[in-house]
Amino acid sequence: MTDDHTLAAELATAAGDLLLRTRDQHAGIDPKELKDIGDQVAHDFLMAELAKARPQDAVLSEEGADDHARLTAARVWIVDPLDGTREFSEAGRDDWAVHVALWQDGQLVAGAVGRPAKDVTYSSADNAPAAGTTGAPLRLAVSRSRPPEFVTLLADHLGAELVEMGSAGVKAMSVLEGQTDAYVHAGGQYEWDSAAPVAVASAHGLHTSRIDGSRLVYNNENPYLPDLVVCRPEVAETVLEGIRAVNRG
Ligand SMILES: Nc1ncnc2c1ncn2[C@@H]1O[C@H](COP(=O)(O)O)[C@@H](OP(=O)(O)O)[C@H]1O
Ligand SMILES: [Mg+2]
């Protein structure tokens, strides 16, 4: 049987290929319609494949009805079939992703972030350390369409640069690639936005937490998980101290 890390990566890659084909087939249609089609085809694909490969497991998907059987299940796949939906709908953009994570007995145990337009899938099966950084100033990955004011204040406090891009997965993986030093988000998000990125980032030795430094906890009854930090371990204390300072005002 395919192991969980490999399955997550295979599914993220295959759903990503499907999304690339879907985007080509529907080139030129109304972006709103393209977003809906993308969300749906990737969701349907992942649900069908997980039902085949892991029929006993529960699934929490951004695009599916929430089946509360997951709350007593030992294993739950947490998936965002298309993260960075807005960017997917804009011709030529490559900052969108497919997220597939597995939660088991209280923690994330496997995950993959597919970045189809770049032909790359990041996986918890790999544990190579994150790529190096250039040092000062710190670079913070931030939403291009709705940067939280909190992160702008943090960048001011730290003397950091903001690097704008779409998708939570793409932002977290930019830390892994050494393109940024930290991804800090606050003000709203759901478990599917961060589960796979956090599983992959932590497998590669990056720091992952809530903005108050506490552990990110998944498979809660309410999947709202509004904030997170993914960063290089050597800057974690600086970033968390900066967050405390911004919160103190
Ligand atoms: N304030 C907020 N409330 C809820 N979800 C948010 C949010 N800010 C960002 N997100 C979600 O986080 C993902 C990355 O967003 P961004 O690129 O703006 O940082 C998006 O997922 P989806 O594309 O799956 O909807 C987006 O919906
Ligand atoms: Mg998302």
pLDDT confidence bin for 135, thresholds 50/70/90: confident
Cα–Cα dist 198/207, whole Å:
9
Q: Is 44 annotated as a binding residue?
A: no
pLDDT for residue 133? 67
Q: Is 63 in the pocket of ligand 1 (CB under 6 A)?
A: no
CA 80 – ligand 2 centroid, Å:
6
Residue 136, number of CB atoms within 10 A of its CB: 11
Residue 24, number of CB atoms within 10 A of its CB: 8
pLDDT confidence bin for 134, thresholds 50/70/90: low
Q: Is the pTM of this model over 0.80?
A: yes
Indicate if ipTM > 0.95: yes
Atom of ligand 1 nearest to the CA of 187: 1
Q: Judge: domain 139-248, CATH 3.20.20.100.
A: no
Q: Is 168 in the pocket of ligand 1 (CB under 6 A)?
A: yes
Task: Report the Cα 45 to chain-centroid distance in Å.
Answer: 19
Bridge partner list, 185: 228
CA 193 – ligand 1 centroid, Å:
7
* Strand 182-185 versus strand 58-61 pairing type: unpaired
CA 193 – ligand 2 centroid, Å:
4
Bridge partner list, 77: 59, 102
pLDDT confidence bin for 249, thresholds 50/70/90: confident
Burial string for 40-72 (b: 16+ CB within 10 Å, else e) reads ebbbbbbbebbeeebeebbbbbbbeeeeeebee
Beta-carbon contacts of residue 86 (< 8 Å; ≥ 6 apart): 35, 145, 166
Q: Are 197 and 169 in contact (CB under 8 A)?
A: yes
Which among 128, 211, 143, 219 is positioned nearest to 176, based on CA atoms?
A: 128
The DSSP element (H or E) to which 161 belongs, if any, is strand 161-165
Q: Is 24 annotated as a binding residue?
A: no
pLDDT for residue 190? 98
pLDDT confidence bin for 131, thresholds 50/70/90: confident
Q: Is 197 in the pocket of ligand 1 (CB under 6 A)?
A: no
Which among 199, 194, 200 is positioned nearest to 167, based on CA atoms?
A: 194
Sheet holding 207-209, edge to edge: 161-165, 139-143, 182-185, 228-231, 207-209
Atom of ligand 1 nearest to the CA of 84: 23
CA 1 – ligand 1 centroid, Å:
34
State the burial class of residue 145 (Cβ atoms within 10 Å of its Cβ: 0-12, 13-18, 19+).
exposed
Domain residue extents for the chain = 4-123, 139-248
Where does 4-123 sit in CATH, by number? 3.30.540.10
